[in-house]
Structure 1
Amino acid sequence: MSLTTRRSRLAASALAAITAIGGLAACGNDDEPVAGEKPGKLVLETFGEFGYEELIKQYEKDTGIKIELRKTAQLGEYRPKLVRYLATGRGAGDVVALEEGILNEFKSNPRNWADLAPLVDDHSTDYLPWKWELGKAPDGRLMGLPTDVGSLAVCYRKDLFEAAGLPTDREQVSALWPDWDSFLQTGRTYKQGSGGKAFIDSVTAVADAALFQQGADLFYDKENNIIAGTSPAVKTAWDTAVSMADISAKVATWSPEWSAGFKQGSFAATFCPSWMLGIVADNSGEENKGKWDVAAVPGGGGNWGGSWLAVPEQSAHHEEAAKLAEFLTSAASQVEAFKAKGPLPTHLEALQDEAFLSYTNEYFSDAPTGKIFGESVSKIEPIHLGPKHQAVKENAFGPALRSFENGQAGEDEAWQQFTKDAEIQGAF
């Protein structure tokens, strides 16, 4: 047995032990429901922007149940909270969003999650088939109801493009970069025309986009052995990213400098899965409305992100929580969430809804985002992420790339740092 395999199995055992504690401790929840009594409040826990604010108001009006929305901006801060909730058996929301990497990790102990199948109607044929199946735990229970899926594009500042002598029409902009080499050359043209300004926010954003285009094993193989240092898909994404260092603003995604950079024009383009649209708009502010637009991503489409809504076993209100999750993931709700903040629907009825297909985003220069992102859905394929994908990406892949981007390490040194850290993060 290889060291990687032994570490992976030890890690799985450790996580199972920790989350089992959560399952046992959940039995001691003080908020025990009273039979036949409707809860006064449910807690909904999400990260980033799901577009649920107006939907929550509607649900409160329809049911009389108060919904407390707890949002965490960064996924890297969100996951440790969930781990702590499971370990202690208390603190989690009644409904929690699980990003695809987190979902895979928590499947190692599905007993921490209520089986939604007996609590909601049969929706097994309502969603993208692979998305529905990924929401199931190894023991067959329905761990999560599908929310959104990622679909790649490029968000760009038309005013900054124009000032640098580049075209601004979204079709012409898309034609500038059919592949990554063309994207790099466009970035250098922009830098020259703008007097040396950065074209993109960071090389880690490039790496994320390129990584999720690969459609192959990334940090893990199908047996969940860590292959980060030998994966062709990972190396391709790495090489693509490091080539862009000279056109980067070198601001880490989700950092205060990154958030401020949208409003300040510190960079002219960033990579936008559909769910990123609301984040770009919020960071850029009302004063930049109409300055942004949406173009195609170089190298073809890809699947970056996507989530499910789950009900922790420790919740005292399984039935009502499941009904809330069912409401938020319905076809009508997915269309409204998309219009509000951009999460791309996975409900088949929503994807055929004229309100979705014809939707244009006023903030992004009336870009036909329903058409842009909707046309890519049928091409999206599931990617095998492995149990600790998020930890490897955020604690090994990203930091190593940033150390190179910031001049703290050469490319070879940074790659060696990544492969070493990947073994540690992926196993423990």
Structure 2
Amino acid sequence: MKTVLKGLAAMALAGAISLPALAQDAPDTSISGTINVLTWPNNDRTFQALLPAFNAAYPNITVNIQGIPQANNAYLNAVQRAMLAGGGTDVAMIEIGMMALLRDKPQWVDLAQAPYNAGEFINDFAGFTVANVTLPDGKISALPKHTGPGGMFYRSDIFGEAGLPTDPTEVSALFADWNTFLEEGNKLAVPNERWLIGNGEEIVRAYIAQKGVSYFNADGQLQLDDPAFREALELVKTAGEAGLISPFTAWSPEWQGAFQRGQLATVLYGNWFGGLLKRAYATDQSGKWAVTQAPGVDGKRSFNSGGDYIGILEGSQNKEAAWAFVKWLVTNDESLKQQYQNDDLYPAYTPAGTADWINFEDPYYAGENVNTIFAPVQAEMTPFTLNALDNNVYTALGTAINNVARGVQSVDDALAAIKAEVEAQM
């Protein structure tokens, strides 16, 4: 299995090598002015930390950063207000879940046009991200910033105590499919003290992505009747009945604290979750965590978990400075390096995949180079078809998953409830 993993990583990295790296243009230090950038916490902190490097290249551009929380659609509403205002905001971030709602709005500058000419290098970004920002008429609404190649984070010390292998390649071989994940996961759980996984959503969202199923197809038809949703919820039902899913609500203080207390043996999210482990949830557990492929279905183990984009609003009064910031942010080596090493943000810009700063022995993971896991995921995963109602399905599905995991709703009733709720909003 070790040979297979190394082979996959080599192919993914070779693919990145074959792409021409965008030449780092000499910055035009004559560009000046002030721009206002709209983003969310903690990405506002990330941007603020990058400003010294950006201003070393563009000393005459002042960047003001505003972070709006994403909860309760606060950030989405802020972006929409900025669009209607026609001025005041120059640059705005777009989370992947908002792309279908926002990308075709006329208030975005077309980055395919001169003087931006993003079409000349857009294919240096991960293919699915290019599709997400390119409209049928060729307009490029934004540039891809980061993706969320997914894997399984796990506590290697807990695995060892349970008599399971600890090496990532051996864990990958053992946890190759979802049924085995649950069967072997029983050895990691301790009733009312420790659980295999934090919540059922991690299982469902990885599973349907591996099956290549989106909430809607390209024609806008709801896909909840696809067998993948039932199969995923059946896995959650089995895991819940076996006591493998924690009682904590995802992202709640109790759930976050469970990592520090060593109560969760595995986590299934995008690579960005490593930043939360290192800097918030498990700060004193360096060397105890490792990363491997997620359990899979039909031999497919790759899935995406997140991603973001950044664009310029037509109302900007300083598009030249805004473009300098956007292009530097998503393609500049120093920018991408700092974002990866400080916040575990995986670059959508594929030439970065061969850089030394993304391929290193990470002491937090006991010297593992986790890019050998994430690079193949980004190269191989099936893209998610975006739809403006995705967030509606996401919310309804999350409620149903929790109900199934806790045994208060059958799989049939859960699927019926999701479908009824979403169809009422269509």
TM range (shorter): 0.7 to 0.9
Q: Can you list the C-alpha shifts for 1:105-136, whole angstroms capped at 9, x where unaligned?
A: 223x4212122233435323322344223212
1:141 aligns with 2:139: yes
2:227 is aligned with 1:232: yes
Partners in 1 of 2:75 and 2:211 — Cα distance?
Answer: 25
TM-score, normalized by length of structure 2? Answer: 0.81
CA contact 2:82–2:89 (8 Å) conserved in 1: no
SS at match of 1:247: coil
CA deviation string 1:173-208 (max 9, x = no partner): 22221100010012211115x785211000011112
Amino acid in structure 2 at the alignment position of 1:293 = A
Residues 48, 294 of structure 1: CA spacing in aligned structure 2 closer, same or farther, 3 A cutoff? Answer: farther
Give the one of 101, 123, 136 matched to 2:97: 101
Q: 8 Å contact 2:40–2:75 — kept in the other structure?
A: no
| 1:43 is the counterpart of 2:37 | yes
State the match for 2:259 in structure 1: 262
Equivalent of residue 204 in structure 2, options 203, 207, 213: 207
Contact 2:148–2:271 (CA<8 Å) still a contact in 1? yes
Q: State the secondary structure of the residue aligned to 2:123.
A: coil
Aligned position for 2:400: 400
Equivalent runs, 1:279-294 vs 2, <5 Å: 279-294=276-291
Alignment of 1:75-224 (within 5 A): 77=73, 79-82=75-78, 84-85=80-81, 88-89=84-85, 93-107=89-103, 109-117=104-112, 118-121=114-117, 122-192=120-190, 197-216=194-213, 218-224=214-220
Q: Read off the aligned partner of 1:311 and give its amino acid letter.
A: I
Give the match's secondary structure for 2:153.
Answer: strand
Deviation at 1:401, TM superposition (A): 1.1
Corresponding residue SS for 2:357: helix
- Counterpart Cα distance in 1 of 2:221 and 2:175: 35
Q: Which residue of 2 aligns with 1:329?
A: 330
CA positional deviation for 1:100: 2.5
The equivalent of 1:352 in structure 2 is 354
Q: CA deviation at 1:59?
A: 0.9
User: Hey, what's the Cα distance between the residues in 1 that align with 2:72 and 2:228?
Assistant: 23
Look up the equivalent residue of 2:331 and give its one-letter code.
S
CA contact (8 A) 2:38 2:91 kept: yes
Matching residue of 2:25: none
Q: Is the CA contact 1:49–1:341 (under 8 Å) kept in the aligned structure 2?
A: no
Change (3 A) 1:317 1:305: same
Partner of 1:26: none
- TM (norm. structure 1) is 0.80
Paired residues of 2:151 and 2:292 also in contact (CA < 8 A): yes
The one-letter amino acid of 1:277's match is G
2:50 matched residue in structure 1:
55
Letter of the 1:43 partner, please give it: V
Cα separation, 2, equivalents of 1:93 and 1:410: 47
Whole-angstrom CA distance in 2 between matches of 1:187 and 1:289: 23
- Structure 1 residue 378 displacement after superposition: 2.2
**Take 2:111 and 2:207, find their aligned partners in 1: how far apart are those partners?**
34
1:47 to partner: Cα distance: 5.4
| Separation in 2, partners of 1:191, 1:92 | 52
Q: CA deviation at 1:211?
A: 2.0
Q: Distance in 2 between matches of 1:79 and 1:40?
A: 22
Give, as a single letter, the amino acid of the residue that structure 2 aligns with 1:102. Answer: M
Report what 1:16 is aligned to.
Answer: none
Deviation at 1:86, TM superposition (A): 5.0
SS at match of 1:168: coil
Match of 2:268 among 262, 271, 280: 271
* Structure 2: tracts of 5 or more residues without a match: 1-29
Partner AA of 1:159 in structure 2 = D
Q: Which amino acid in the other structure matches residue 411 of structure 1?
A: V
Change in Cα spacing, 1:204 to 1:102, as seen in structure 2 (3 Å) is same
1:391 corresponds in structure 2 to 392
* CA distance 1:68–1:312, shift in 2 (3 Å): same
1:372 CA drift (Å) = 2.0
By how many angstroms is 1:76 displaced? Answer: 6.0
1:416 to partner: Cα distance: 2.0
Structure 1 Cα separation of the partners of residues 205 and 356 of structure 2: 31
| Structure 2 residue aligned with 1:24 | none
1:419 paired residue number:
419
Q: How many corresponding residue pairs?
A: 385
Question: What is the letter of the counterpart of residue 219 of structure 1?
Answer: Y
Would the alpha carbon gap of residues 372 and 37 (structure 1) be closer, same or farther in structure 2, given more than 3 Å must change? closer
Look up the match of 1:307: 308
Instruction: Give unmatched runs, 5+ long, in structure 1.
Output: 1-35
Q: Which of the numbers 220, 236, 239 marks the counterpart of 1:241?
A: 236
1:298 Cα deviation (Å)? 0.5
What is the CA–CA distance in structure 1 between the aligned matches of 2:89 and 2:158, rounded to whole Å? 42
Question: After the TM superposition, which of the residue ranges 175-184 and 331-340 deviates more from structure 2?
Answer: 331-340
Q: Per the alignment, do residues 119 and 235 of structure 1 end up closer, same or farther by CA in structure 2, a change over 3 Å counting?
A: farther
Instruction: Give, as a single letter, the amino acid of the residue that structure 2 aligns with 1:221.
Output: N
Identity %: 23
Residue 77 of structure 1: how far off its partner (Å): 4.5
> CA shift at 1:411, angstroms?
3.2
Which amino acid in structure 2 is aligned with residue 157 of structure 1? R
**SS at 1:374 equivalent:** helix
Partner SS state of residue 189, structure 2: helix
User: Which residue, 342, 345, 349 being the options, matches 1:343?
Assistant: 345
The DSSP-based 3-state class of the residue aligned with 2:63 is strand
